[in-house]
Each structure stands twice: as C-alpha cells, then as structure tokens.
C-alpha cells in the first residue's frame, strides 16, 4: 500500500527550537525517503503555480524543505525562519501546508512572532495548528507554566492541539515522556501520522484543473496538463473549459505513463477530450457547479516588499496558471497581528497585512481562498523590477463585477478614425519639470492641425485644475493621476483622435500601465530629456527653488525620484535641439506612420 503524504510547516520566533525539533524527528525516524527527488519536483510544481513566483530565468525557492518518512507516511517539511524580515518564507511554505507546528520557548512564552506566524498560517488556510511548548526541560516540566502558555495561545487560535515537548531530550516528540505524566495526548509523531492531508478534503469538492501546459498541435495526442486543484475526474465525465464555458467530455486520463480511470486532488494529470476545444494555459477545466468568473475582488494582501504598496499602480498578478494586470485600491484597513484590530491606513509596508479591493484587466476563474487555495491565492509582481511584492487571498468578487458589462456599439473606433482619415495615436511626453514637454507638445499639435489632423492635448497642470483636482503628489496620487489620464486618453483614441499627453509621469510602472491599455502601436513614448541641473536653471515656474526650500515635498527630481524611459520611441535632448526642431521631428515621425 502506497504511503500517504503530509506537508507541514514549522514556525515560531527565533531560537524557539525549530531546527532541534526537525533534527530530532529526522534522527528518530531515519533518513529521507528514496524517491525524494521525484517528490521534491512534484511539490515544487505545486508551489510554482500557487504562491511561489515564476521567473523567466528560473524558479526562486526561498524556503528550506526537508523530507523524511516512517512506516506509515511520508513527510515534506517547510522550515520557516523565525525572523520578521523572512515573513515571505513563511507565506510560501504555509500556502501548501496541511498542518503547522508553532513552537514557543517555554522560558519566553507567546511572543509577537509566535502570534504573527500562527495568524498567517490560519489566514493562509492551514486548518490544523499544533502548539509545541518546547524546552520543557528548562522549566522543570512545570504543568502550571505549560497551561498558562496554552491559555495565552487561545487568544490567537480557538482550535489547536498543544503538546509539551523537549526537542533536545526527545520528550513527547516520537515517544511518550515519563516526565510529563500529567499529559495524556498524542506524541508529535503519532499526531503527524494520523492527520488527514488537505487533498483528502479537497477530493470531495467539485473538480477543478488549472491548465498548465498544452500538447503541441503537431502531436498525435492533444492533452491538457496540470495539477488537480480540487475534486475527482473520471473518464467520460462532462466538463467545461472556463472562462468560456466550452463543453467537452473527458476521453483519456494520464498520470505519468499510466491511464487510470480517475484522478483526484493533488495529482498531476493530462486530460484529452472527445472533441477539439479552444483550451490553453490559464484556462480552468471544471465540472458542475462551475467556478465563478470576475474581474473585481476584495482580497487580503500580505505585503512582502521593502517598497510600500502604491495604490492605483498596476501590478502583474498570477493566480495559479492565470496571468493578468491588477490595479490595487487604497487598503480598507490593516490588521494588527498583536491585537487583531483593524487600523485605517493609506498603504501597506513590509509585512503589513491588509484588505483592499482590486480589479484586473481580464476576467479570472477563481474561488474564495477559504474554499480553494489554488484558485483563491495569488501573487503580485512589480512590473519594473519583476520582484514578488505581495501574496493575496481572494475573499469574494465585488457585486459590480457581475452587474456591469461592456456595451457593444455599432459605430466602431475604426469607423471614427476612417472618417478623420488618420490613425489614433497617444503621444506621451514625459520628463522632468522644466524639460519643455508642454512647449514641444503645443508646437506639435499646431503642426498637426496645420496638416489637417484631428487632435487633443492633455496637459498635466490643466488636468489637475479639473479632472484630478482632488489628487495630491504622493506616489499613490501620482499613480491615480496617470491612470485617469490614461483612461481619458483611451476614450479620445476611440473617437479617432491623435492625443498629446504632457505629464512628468515619473514612474515607469504607470507609463507601462497606460501603454498596456491601448492596442499595439498606439502608444508613443517621447522622452523630453534634460539634466536636472539644467531644469533647475530654467525653473520657469519657480518650483525647484520652492522644493529646495522644503516648501514643495515630493517634488520630482528633489524629494521624489524620476525613472527615465528605457526604450522610448523618441528621445529629445533639449540641450541640443530647439523646441521647433523637436516638434518637427515628432510630426514627421507621426505623419510617416499615418501613411
């Protein structure tokens, strides 16, 4: 009979004895199991499409995994560091764990990091917590002290199993200790060998398979591979490919080289259908009742980056095998892990846990995280640095996501553009204050008008006098400023216009966001380049002088950074080219593209 597999995580504060405990378990149970490599690869596959980041250059694994086995079961252990700065490691390990061992030092009791780790494990769906009161030998196996720690921990979790242990002496780790006659519960190993794995619960749920890869069209076998996230599939089952809800029937199931009659949660499988269907990576194969599809959610965010969350900024989102661009709204609140109270905040800093609304640029197939980790857990990635900045847990879809639908219009953007005899373009002028963006953009529009082109100019100051008068100059407000301008410009492009936008737009992320809103080739980034010293020398509005005096905080180039474009379509050096020459160059380029 094949041994079952249990994944668990060890966590707690620094020096609570996690390494000693794992050392004791490995020593008492023997070496790692023989098929360790195959199991590692299978578990890493699960991690990669869960809360672990994918990278074009490979996979970054930031959790130490250990492997051991007994006569009854195999185990994969995620060893999470106790330091606060490594909270991301705990998130990664807990996202796939069936059980969490929360250690505390009997000399210190329940610490802030004990509470943080226990709270995060519960938040990440670890349904079974085990409190290990370690180093009992150092307090003389005092039952009263043990009872006090257990009572303190009940403020963190209502349901858990508590065991008094000494990792160093081996008390109640694999064998029952005579030094704790007042304890009549299981040893740690007895508990680990009898706990039901998460897959046992997931197998009873409706079938869900996020598609990870598809066989090439030139191959005889057309299959759709992935890890079964929930439920069981059998040959002959009727399924649908989401989000399109295309119907099909399962004809073949492959698990490795075998062709079983069924497969269940936790297994990597390849399915073949009885007909040709449009199915690709990111789709979800599902049985009735079908999963939800939405593009607006409330989610819990666990922020894992040194740089704070910028509300309104667009981040790359990965939900299982699905990818999208997500815009995060200001947090509704942050959760204090020591008191569990909700605090009003404008952003989230490193290790902050908060709840916020977000929307994505395409509908996603999902389930609330509490129901399904694989379809409810996502990561956010900074689009500029490619760093994973947050883990997210979907709570529910916002009602407006289901009630608002795009209206089909009979008059198309192509028809409006044809009437004007031009191709819509967004000319995005970016650069420091004083670089000459508005001056050059104004000249460009005059030249376009003289050539019979239909255009409209959006200027940074003018927009802030009306549409964006409610926004300040924090990073979040700057991001929202550019988002609104991008949406406005997109409507104008739908009208067939050539739009000129002159904005400092200091962050690459927001300029990329606007580019991503538009069809390929309609966004032209024009970098009006000037050295900071030259911009200060010009200082047409006297803003640099005020910023140097501290009267304008967060002024770009002084109190806030400017991120120059890396590959602009046009670069204008205003120290070498006059505004008239720059405008003529831009117009020639735009008109040339119109032919």
**Phi, psi for 267 (deg, rounded to 5):** -95, 140
CATH code of 366's domain: 2.40.30.10
- The confidence score (pLDDT) of residue 478 equals 86
- The confidence score (pLDDT) of residue 1 equals 56
**pLDDT tens per residue across span 100-123:** 999 999 999 999 889 988 999 999
Angle at which helix 87-94 crosses helix 112-123, to 10 degrees, equals 30
- The confidence score (pLDDT) of residue 256 equals 86
How far is it, in rounded angstroms, from Cα 293 to Cα 284? 11
Is residue 84's pLDDT more than 70? Answer: no
* Structural domains in the chain (count): 4
- The confidence score (pLDDT) of residue 446 equals 95
Pick 87 or 248 by higher pLDDT.
248
60 and 192 co-located in one domain: yes
Domain end marker among 168, 199, 230:
199
pLDDT band at 132 (very low <50, low <70, confident <90, very high): very high
State the average pLDDT over residues 172-183. 94
475 and 527 co-located in one domain: yes
Task: Give, in order, the Cα–Cα distances in Å from 35 to each of 75, 203, 381.
Answer: 12, 24, 34
Return the residue matching tokens 């553009």: 417
Residue 101 lies in a domain: yes
- The confidence score (pLDDT) of residue 51 equals 39
Sign of CA dihedral 43, 44, 46, 52: positive
**pLDDT tens per residue across span 320-369:** 999 999 999 999 999 987 778 899 999 999 889 999 999 999 999 999 99
3-state secondary structure of 472: coil
- Minimal CA–CA distance to 164: which of 153, 155, 184? 184
Return the residue matching tokens 């060998």: 193
102 and 73 co-located in one domain: yes
State the average pLDDT over residues 488-507. 94
156 and 83 co-located in one domain: yes
State the average pLDDT over residues 289-318. 93
Domain end marker among 199, 220, 250:
199
Residue 36 lies in a domain: yes
Residue 371 CB coordination number (10 Å):
16
State the average pLDDT over residues 387-392. 92
Residue 361 lies in a domain: yes
pLDDT band at 50 (very low <50, low <70, confident <90, very high): very low
How far is it, in rounded angstroms, from Cα 203 to Cα 16? 35
432 and 575 co-located in one domain: yes
Q: What is the pTM of this model?
A: 0.78
- The confidence score (pLDDT) of residue 285 equals 96
- The confidence score (pLDDT) of residue 188 equals 96
pLDDT band at 80 (very low <50, low <70, confident <90, very high): confident
pLDDT band at 560 (very low <50, low <70, confident <90, very high): confident
Catalytic residue, chosen from 13, 505, 560, 578, is 505
- Percent of the chain beyond pLDDT 70? 90
Residue 15 lies in a domain: yes
376 and 511 co-located in one domain: no
- The confidence score (pLDDT) of residue 302 equals 93
487 and 519 co-located in one domain: yes
**pLDDT tens per residue across span 30-45:** 655 444 434 443 443 4
In which domain, by residue range, is 270 found? 207-286
Beta strand extents in 405-553 (DSSP E only): 425-430, 455-459, 498-502, 523-529
User: Are the beta carbons of 10 and 50 closer than 8 angstroms?
Assistant: no
Residue 235 lies in a domain: yes
Is residue 2's pLDDT more than 80? Answer: no
**Phi, psi for 563 (deg, rounded to 5):** -105, 105
Is residue 254's pLDDT more than 90? Answer: yes
3-state secondary structure of 66: strand
State the average pLDDT for the chain: 87
- The confidence score (pLDDT) of residue 40 equals 40
State the average pLDDT over residues 407-425. 88
CATH code of 430's domain: 3.40.50.300
Is residue 402's pLDDT more than 60? Answer: yes
Q: Decide if 505 is catalytic.
A: yes
pLDDT band at 557 (very low <50, low <70, confident <90, very high): confident
User: Are the beta carbons of 158 and 340 closer than 8 angstroms?
Assistant: no
463 and 483 co-located in one domain: yes
Residue 566 lies in a domain: yes
Pick 444 or 198 by higher pLDDT.
444
Rounded to the nearest angstrom, the gap between the alpha carbon of residue 325 and the centroid of all alpha carbons in its chain is: 10
Domain end marker among 199, 229, 253:
199
- Percent of the chain beyond pLDDT 90? 57
3-state secondary structure of 230: strand
- The confidence score (pLDDT) of residue 327 equals 93
520 and 562 co-located in one domain: yes
**Of the listed ranges 59-63, 406-410, 412-416, 458-462, the one predicted with least confidence:** 59-63
- The confidence score (pLDDT) of residue 262 equals 93
What tokens does 249 get?
């029937």
Residue 551 lies in a domain: yes
How far is it, in rounded angstroms, from Cα 516 to Cα 487? 11
366 and 477 co-located in one domain: no
Residue 408 lies in a domain: no
70 and 194 co-located in one domain: yes
**pLDDT tens per residue across span 200-238:** 667 778 999 999 999 865 567 789 999 999 999 999 999
Residue 171 DSSP one-character state? B
103 and 143 co-located in one domain: yes
């Amino acid at each position: 009979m094949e041994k079952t597999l249990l994944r668990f995580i060890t966590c707690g504060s620094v020096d609570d004895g996690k390494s000693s405990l794992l050392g004791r378990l490995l020593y008492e149970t023997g070496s790692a199991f023989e098929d360790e490599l195959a199991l590692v690869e299978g578990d890493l596959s699960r991690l990669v499409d869960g809360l672990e980041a994918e990278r074009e250059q490979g996979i970054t694994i930031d959790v130490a995994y250990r492997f051991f086995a007994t006569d009854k079961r195999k185990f994969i252990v995620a060893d999470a560091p106790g330091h606060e700065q490594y909270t991301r490691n705990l998130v990664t390990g807990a996202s796939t764990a069936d059980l969490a061992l929360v250690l505390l030092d009997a000399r210190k009791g329940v610490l802030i990091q004990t509470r943080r780790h226990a709270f995060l494990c519960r938040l990440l769906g670890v349904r079974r917590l085990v409190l290990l009161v370690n180093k009992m030998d150092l307090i003389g196996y005092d039952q009263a002290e043990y009872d006090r720690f257990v009572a303190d921990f009940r403020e963190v979790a209502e349901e858990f199993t508590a065991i008094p242990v000494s990792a160093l002496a081996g008390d109640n780790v694999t064998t029952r200790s005579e030094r704790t006659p007042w304890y009549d519960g299981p040893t740690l190993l007895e508990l680990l060998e009898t706990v039901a794995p998460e897959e046992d619960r997931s197998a009873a749920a409706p079938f869900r398979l996020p598609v990870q890869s598809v066989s090439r069209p030139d191959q005889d076998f057309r299959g759709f591979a992935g890890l079964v996230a929930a439920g069981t599939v059998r040959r002959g089952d009727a399924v649908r490919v989401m989000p399109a809800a295309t119907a099909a029937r399962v004809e073949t199931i492959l698990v490795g080289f075998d062709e079983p009659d069924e497969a269940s949660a936790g297994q990597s499988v390849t399915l073949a259908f009885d007909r040709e269907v449009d199915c690709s990576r990111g789709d979800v194969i599902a049985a009735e009742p079908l999963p939800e599809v939405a593009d607006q959610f409330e989610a819990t965010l666990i922020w894992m980056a040194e740089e704070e969350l910028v509300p309104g900024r667009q981040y790359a989102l990965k939900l299982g095998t699905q990818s999208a661009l997500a815009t995060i709204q200001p947090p509704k609140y942050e959760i204090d892990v020591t008191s569990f109270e909700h605090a009003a905040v404008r952003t989230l800093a490193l290790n902050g846990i908060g709840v916020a609304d977000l929307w994505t640029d395409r509908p996603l197939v999902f389930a609330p995280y509490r129901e399904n980790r694989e379809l409810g857990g996502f990561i956010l990635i900074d689009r500029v640095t490619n760093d994973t900045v947050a883990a997210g847990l979907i709570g529910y879809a916002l009602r407006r996501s289901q009630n608002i639908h795009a209206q089909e219009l009979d008059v198309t953007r192509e028809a409006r553009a044809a009437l004007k005899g031009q191709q819509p373009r967004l000319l995005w002028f970016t650069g420091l204050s004083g670089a000459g963006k508005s001056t050059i953009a104004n000249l460009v529009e005059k030249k376009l008008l003289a050539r019979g082109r239909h255009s409209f100019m959006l200027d940074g100051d003018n927009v802030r006098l009306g549409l964006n008068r409610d926004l300040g100059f924090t990073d979040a407000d700057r991001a929202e400023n550019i988002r609104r301008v991008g949406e406005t410009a997109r409507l104008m492009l739908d009208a067939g216009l050539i739009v000129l936008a002159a904005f400092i737009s200091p962050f690459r992320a927001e300029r990329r966001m606007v580019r991503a809103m538009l069809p390929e080739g309609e966004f032209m980034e024009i970098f009006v380049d000037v050295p900071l010293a030259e911009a200060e020398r010009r200082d047409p509005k006297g803003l640099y002088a005020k910023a140097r005096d501290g009267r304008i905080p967060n002024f770009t180039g002084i109190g806030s950074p400017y991120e120059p474009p890396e590959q602009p379509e046009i670069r204008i050096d205003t120290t070498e080219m006059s505004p008239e020459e720059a405008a003529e160059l831009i117009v020639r380029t735009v008109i040339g593209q119109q032919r």
